Amino acid sequence: MSAHDDDVIGKAYDSRLMKRLLGYLRPYLGQASLALAAIITGSVLQLAPPYLTRLAIDNYIAHRDVSGLARIAWLYLAVLLASFSLEYLQTWTMQLTGQRIMYDLRMEIYRHLQRLDLRFYDRNPVGRLMTRVTSDVDVLNDLFTAGVVAIFGDVFTLAGIMIVMLGMNWKLALASFVVLPLIVVVTQWFRRNVRESYRVVRGWIARINAFLQENLTGMSTVQLFRREGRNFEKFDEINRAHRDANVDSIFYYAVFYPAIELVGALAASIIIWFGGLDVMSGTLTVGVLVAFLQYSARFYRPISDMSEKFNVLQAAMASSERIFTLLDTPVAVTSSSSPVVPARPLRGHIVFDHVWFAYNGEDWVLKDVSFEVRPGQRVGLVGATGSGKTTIINLLLRFYDVQKGRILVDGVDIRQLEIATVRQMFALVLQDVHLFSGTVGENIRLGERSIADDAVRRAADAVRAGRFIDELPARYDAPVAERGATFSTGQKQLLSFARALAFDRRVLILDEATSSVDTETEHVIREALGVLMDGRTTLAIAHRLSTIQDMDRILVLHKGVLRESGTHQQLLAQRGIYFRLYQLQFKDAVPRSA
- Residues 522-541 binding another protein (CB under 8 A) are 522
Q: Which residues contact 34 (CB under 8 A, 6 or more apart)?
A: 89, 93
The binder of another protein chosen from 92, 177, 198, 324 (CB under 8 A)? 92
Rounded CA separation 39/22 (Å): 19
Interface residues for another protein in 132-161 (CB under 8 A)? 133-134
- Please, what's the largest Cα pairwise distance for the chain? 124
For residue 226, the tally of other CB atoms under 10 A from its CB is 8
The binder of another protein chosen from 10, 159, 196, 209 (CB under 8 A)? 209
Compare residues 155 and 266 and give the one whose CB is closer to another protein.
266
Q: How far is the CB of 184 from another protein (least distance, A)?
A: 19
Interface residues for another protein in 232-251 (CB under 8 A)? 232, 235-236, 239-240, 242-243, 246-247, 250-251
Between strands 553-558 and 537-541, the pairing is: unpaired
The binder of another protein chosen from 370, 434, 474, 477 (CB under 8 A)? 434
Compare residues 63 and 344 and give the one whose CB is closer to another protein.
63
Rounded CA separation 44/77 (Å): 15
Compare residues 416 and 549 and give the one whose CB is closer to another protein.
549
| Interface with another protein, residue 391, by CB under 8 A | no
CA angle 436, 527, 571 (to 5 degrees): 105
| Interface with another protein, residue 130, by CB under 8 A | yes
The binder of another protein chosen from 56, 164, 513, 555 (CB under 8 A)? 56
Cβ atoms 321, 18 nearer than 8 A: no
Q: Which residues contact 139 (CB under 8 A, 6 or more apart)?
A: 315, 316, 318, 319
Rounded CA separation 247/100 (Å): 39
Q: How far is the CB of 531 from another protein (least distance, A)?
A: 15
Site string for another protein, 284-313 (x = CB under 8 A): --x--xx--x---x----------------
Compare residues 279 and 472 and give the one whose CB is closer to another protein.
279
Site string for another protein, 469-508 (x = CB under 8 A): -------------x----------------x---x-----
Cβ atoms 312, 12 nearer than 8 A: no
Of 151-159, 302-310, 362-370, 572-580: span binding another protein (CB under 8 A)? 572-580
| Interface with another protein, residue 437, by CB under 8 A | yes
| Interface with another protein, residue 583, by CB under 8 A | yes
Of 310-318, 374-382, 469-477, 516-524: span binding another protein (CB under 8 A)? 516-524
Q: How far is the CB of 582 from another protein (least distance, A)?
A: 6
Cβ atoms 17, 320 nearer than 8 A: yes
Interface residues for another protein in 97-126 (CB under 8 A)? 99-100, 102-103, 106-107, 110-111, 113-115, 118, 121, 126
For residue 449, the tally of other CB atoms under 10 A from its CB is 7
Q: Could you tell me how many residues make up the chain? A: 594
Type of residue at 512? E
Rounded CA separation 134/121 (Å): 17
Size of the site for another protein (CB under 8 A): 152
Of 53-61, 154-162, 303-311, 408-416: span binding another protein (CB under 8 A)? 53-61
Q: How far is the CB of 16 from another protein (least distance, A)?
A: 27
The binder of another protein chosen from 33, 188, 223, 336 (CB under 8 A)? 223
Q: How far is the CB of 248 from another protein (least distance, A)?
A: 10
Compare residues 12 and 206 and give the one whose CB is closer to another protein.
206
Compare residues 289 and 303 and give the one whose CB is closer to another protein.
289
Cβ atoms 561, 367 nearer than 8 A: yes
| Interface with another protein, residue 269, by CB under 8 A | yes
| SS3 of residue 171 by DSSP | helix
DSSP state of 255: H
| φ and ψ of 110, to 5 deg | -65, -40
Between strands 426-429 and 412-413, the pairing is: unpaired
| Interface with another protein, residue 460, by CB under 8 A | no
CA angle 129, 206, 187 (to 5 degrees): 95
- End-to-end alpha-carbon separation of the chain, Å? 56
Q: How far is the CB of 480 from another protein (least distance, A)?
A: 10
Q: How far is the CB of 591 from another protein (least distance, A)?
A: 7
The binder of another protein chosen from 170, 225, 467, 535 (CB under 8 A)? 225
| φ and ψ of 563, to 5 deg | -95, -35
Cβ atoms 453, 445 nearer than 8 A: no
Which residue in 588, 540, 581, 548 sits closest to 393, CA to CA?
540
